[in-house]
Amino acid sequence: MRNRIARMFPTGSGRTVMLAVDHGYFMGPTRHLENARATIAPLAPHADALAVTRGILRTSVDPSVSTPILLRVSGGATVLKEDLSHEALTTTVKEALRLNVSAVALSVFVGAPHEHESLVNLAQLVEAGEDLGMPVVSITAVGKELEKRDARYLSLACRVSAEIGAHLVKTYYCDGFSKVVDGCPVPIVVAGGPKLDSEQAALELTHHAIEEGAKGIDMGRNIWQSEHPVAMLRALRAIVHEDATVREALEVFREEKTRPKVAPAEAPA
């Protein structure tokens, strides 16, 4: 278990930069993720973990890619329904082991119509994970209700996840985020949410989250919907792993975006 978790935190910073590309399971072919293989290939060498579903792992991640995998194992609802909380476990821990992933992830929907089922899914996944040495990441999902993302709600959702046994929690950044961190006894990583107005805004969000105690990010749209996704990922790494300021990270972004593109196989690990 600890070895699998450590794989996703490979640098001395004790933090992680995960690339989230698991949106298609309920959103379909989202902008810039229409061809998942093409989006993932140049970014994978710069991420500490790739968050994917098994379908994308099978079809769109080359088996030679050594980036640790965070496998999403919940699903069952799509954006065509108002209520996204009606999820079940879609992949077993046995399959996750066969796929040699580093952790499994599922959404919990605290306060939503299917709150109970999603929390029981978490409990069952933790149970199976404990048996087989597979860490579980709980994602405090809000479905379409993005306005739910305040400190009071996220503190509750993160704490409940940890109490049920999640080894890591993925949540959103919010005002008063340090309260969310203080109330959660397991490490928290933050998602980016829908694409913000600028790269600077996403770098600022990340900087605040790290300053207030996040152990990293699991970010998607603010990376691969950028016109310069590799530069964005490298700028985020500077904040998460090197404690760069937003200004320093923007410098990294500007330098990297003018760098000639390198084929994925030649990109630095």
Supply the residues annotated as catalytic: 170
Q: Is 22 in the site for ligand 5RP (CB under 6 A)?
A: yes
Q: Is 218 in the site for ligand 5RP (CB under 6 A)?
A: yes
User: What per-residue string of b and e applies to 117-146 under the rule 16 or more CB within 10 Å gives b?
Assistant: bbbebbeebbebbeeeebbbbbbbbbbeee
Torsion of CA 20, 162, 154, 77, to 10 degrees: 50
- 232/250 Cα distance (integer angstroms): 9
97 touches 132 (CB < 8 A)? yes
Residue 218 beta carbon to ligand 5RP: minimum distance, rounded to whole angstroms: 6
Q: Which of 8, 73, 174, 219 binds ligand 5RP (CB under 6 A)?
A: 219
Residue 206 beta carbon to ligand 5RP: minimum distance, rounded to whole angstroms: 10
For ligand 5RP, which is the closer residue by CB, 99 or 196? 196
Q: Is 49 in the site for ligand 5RP (CB under 6 A)?
A: no
Q: Is 48 in the site for ligand 5RP (CB under 6 A)?
A: no
Rounded to 10 deg, the angle between the 115-132 and 151-164 helix axes is 40
Could you tell me how many residues of this chain bind ligand 5RP (CB under 6 A)?
Answer: 13
Which residue in 127, 120, 177 sits closest to 149, CA to CA?
Answer: 177
Q: Is 20 in the site for ligand 5RP (CB under 6 A)?
A: yes
| Nearby residues of 193 by Cβ (< 8 Å), 6 or more positions away | 146, 149, 172, 221, 222
Q: Is 84 in the site for ligand 5RP (CB under 6 A)?
A: no
Q: Which of 10, 113, 165, 193 binds ligand 5RP (CB under 6 A)?
A: 193
For ligand 5RP, which is the closer residue by CB, 27 or 262? 27
Show the binding pattern over residues 114-143: x = contacts ligand 5RP (CB under 6 A), - = does not.
-------------------------x----
SS3 for 263?
A: coil
Q: How far is CA 34 from the centre of its chain?
A: 19
What is the chain's alpha carbon radius of gyration, rounded to the nearest angstrom? Answer: 17
Q: Which of 129, 135, 143, 220 binds ligand 5RP (CB under 6 A)?
A: 220
- 191/170 Cα distance (integer angstroms): 7
- 160/138 Cα distance (integer angstroms): 10
Q: Is 54 in the site for ligand 5RP (CB under 6 A)?
A: no
Residue 61 beta carbon to ligand 5RP: minimum distance, rounded to whole angstroms: 15
Residue 16 beta carbon to ligand 5RP: minimum distance, rounded to whole angstroms: 13
For ligand 5RP, which is the closer residue by CB, 133 or 177? 177
For ligand 5RP, which is the closer residue by CB, 78 or 131? 78
Q: Is 191 in the site for ligand 5RP (CB under 6 A)?
A: yes
- 70/52 Cα distance (integer angstroms): 6
Contact residues: ligand 5RP, CB under 6 A:
20, 22-23, 51, 139, 191-193, 218-222
